[in-house]
Structure 1
Amino acid sequence: SFSRMRHFTTALTALVFAAAPLAAQQPSQYPTSWDPKLLERPDVKSAMAMLEKNFPQQLEEWVRLTEMPGKSGQEQARGAYVKAAFEKEGLKPTVDSIGNVVAVRKGTGGGPTIVIMAHMDVVFPNDTPRKVRRSGDTLFAPGVGDNTASVANMLATLRTMNATRFASKGDIIFIGTTQEELGLKGAEYWLRTNPRPDLLIVPDGAFGSVAYGALGIYWTKYVFTGPGAHTLASRGRPTPVRAVAAAIDRLYQLQFPALPDGAVMNIGQIHGGNIFNAVPQELYFTVDLRSSDPVLLDSLDRTITRVTQEVATEYKVGLRVEIEQKNQAGGTEKQLAGARAHPLVQTAVDINRALGISTGMPGAMEAVATGATDANPGVVRKIPSIAIGGSKANGAHQLTEYALASTALPSTKLLYLLTATFADGVKVVPPAKIVP
């Protein structure tokens, strides 16, 4: 997803994993709302059995959705499917001006409003071959993991709630969001134009991890301009090409701490020029800058712009700075101590453990103070928000992407159990006393 844009990238996950102390899964120092007795409640037992029984149909729907076009900004086919599925479940979905498909499952009153967001878009052009290839438990297709699995998980959760007559005090709002891969635009729009929810749960991101932070993501285009010239008249004249080359070289010499506590910068595009035999009049490169630390993010952003402006002046060319987006950072792990202490985070960790999803993972990987999903705009607004993963997948944003089919079942159970836990309010089980 933006996700990996969004999502933790595989590299970031590996980095955090490598840095994490191999902590035993001892009793948590954080409050939780998880009660294992919930699994014995008749309606919940029935729901778990139903998810297992209906999983073959869920898998078929996952494949069907994956094979639909869904490029960011062109999600209409998937949106129409999700809308029809909501309608079939007796809800009255609406489609807002950015294309989000929104359906409210009304509560009886007096409970928290829980929003579940799964983004419908993928990064791939609509003419990309999307046929899913199966090999054992593995599904191969562009977009299969990021984030199509989660859309199917969300629909399965809704159907199961209805079939088991699940009752909640608060409203549960199901949203298929758009343009996540273009900067979380659908989620940002919905949160900006609707009443503030009490909890935000986003099935997306790394399988087994609970992301409660927000990686700030700044996208900027630096456009160098000049008068141009024929090659024969080019000697000694200013050229945007030399400025671009010098600027990129200097930017990659900048020194700053690495993620997860520092930042990462990538120059993802260089474009310009039309013919061999002329100095281009315009040339640009793009910068993708990310950090969880809002102070570091803004500081580096200013530094990058200053360095680029200095180069433009030195090489006597014009410079135009175009800001594509500025998704704000949620804060460092220390700054997010309050968010980590909200029971939503530890409850998700505890359910992951109960379902065996995070078995064998270091404790530091179970809850991470970063993220690049639709949960980000919730984190920035101080709404208790987490991303919980939708399947175990690899190769996001690549044609070679694949997902393990069976992992969508525990991911869906996690989504159901999380929602069921908080449907009537936030009950807090005090943290265990940690004995040194």
Structure 2
Amino acid sequence: MLIGVIADDFTGASDIAVTLAKGLPGEGGLQTTQYAGIPCEPAAADVEAGVIALKSRSIPASSAVEQALAACRWLLEQGCEQIVFKYCSTFDSTDSGNIGPVTDALAELLAVQSVVICPAFPALGRTLYQGHLFVQDRLLSESGMEHHPLTPMKDADVRRVLQRQSVNRVAHIPWQTVVAGSAALQKVLNDQPVRTLLVVDAISEHDLTTIGRACKGARLVTGGSGIALALPHNFIAQRRASGKQARAPLIEGPEAILVGSCSGATRQQILEHQKAHPVMKIEVRDVLEGNVGPEQLTAFIHQHQGNAPLVYSSGDPAAVQSIQQQYGREKVAEALDNLFGKTAQKLVAEGTRRIVVGGGETSGAVVSALGLVALTIGKEIDTGVPAMVSPGDKPLALALKSGNFGEKDFFARAVEALRGSAERSAVINQA
């Protein structure tokens, strides 16, 4: 294994995993596997990039540090030469958040002097300029993220947010230095007198490619998934990896779509999906009061099999906040995670082979409930969302979508993207 990634949620892990798997255009990427949590066994010999998906984005800093260090040690045991700490491209982290503490701890463990900090993801409109994070043409603090129920982002200056979390010096590398090229940027990275977290501007994928090339040989890199664009290139250029095209893990069989995100993008995707497909809305209150459970969800999905049935608990932020205030945020989250996890278990036991999941927390709940340890990364369905397949005699095909990702017709396209011919399924079963 050459590159090891520590991701703070499941869909974020999928996002960077497909980035590593596809690599630069015309060049190919690395053979990539995503792990649900820290594995107990060594990685397969052919894995070139391993992505560990934690569920640590919103947990206390001390717990996040402990998990990240354990993940890093496992990746180092697999031979990783470069560690990437992946967080959200909207830098979801309050002043008491864990991005700074985790970065500090990894920098100490790996004995590095400078660390790149770059959450930018221009393909989805997240850019970093003069140290400020933008979503499309709005500052992060004016993009709607300032109202996020868990991590309200009220300051778009990544330098200030990070410095309030970190014990290390925080500095800035402006866009003008990035466009001077990877050699100039690498010199700045290498010339830090003390341990420094370097917030690096990026407004295009070309900038991210420049940053990735400049990170050749860096023991630790942090950022959104875009930071990984050129990292495979550094090993391919050294002929330490051949450059591979991601395999498409396609499976025949019944399908289901489970959605727990309340993002605006997901709500629009549900509205689009219900124009031509059956959709069932779950009232959170009914779940909490025991009136709705896995039996009702699976019955609806079986009734509409073959037409991409979708069940969802998504609601507008105000409604979600009201329920959280009445019942408690933790209780609501636990109830929905339990519902979707048990529903996924029941569906798979009854023959479902293709599952599309919307929402990071929901994705984590489903993967954990199904006991999936390693998922092979296939082709990209939509920006940042790969097709994935589980190992074994009865493989599952999955797509795990972060709340804000995907075009309006994502759910219908994702179900079809996971479909394969009987011949293709037989090949996967024999692999």
TM-score surpassing 0.5? no
Q: TM-score, normalised by structure 1?
A: 0.25
The higher relative CO (CA closer than 8 Å, separation ≥ 6) is in 1
Q: TM-score normalized by structure 2?
A: 0.25
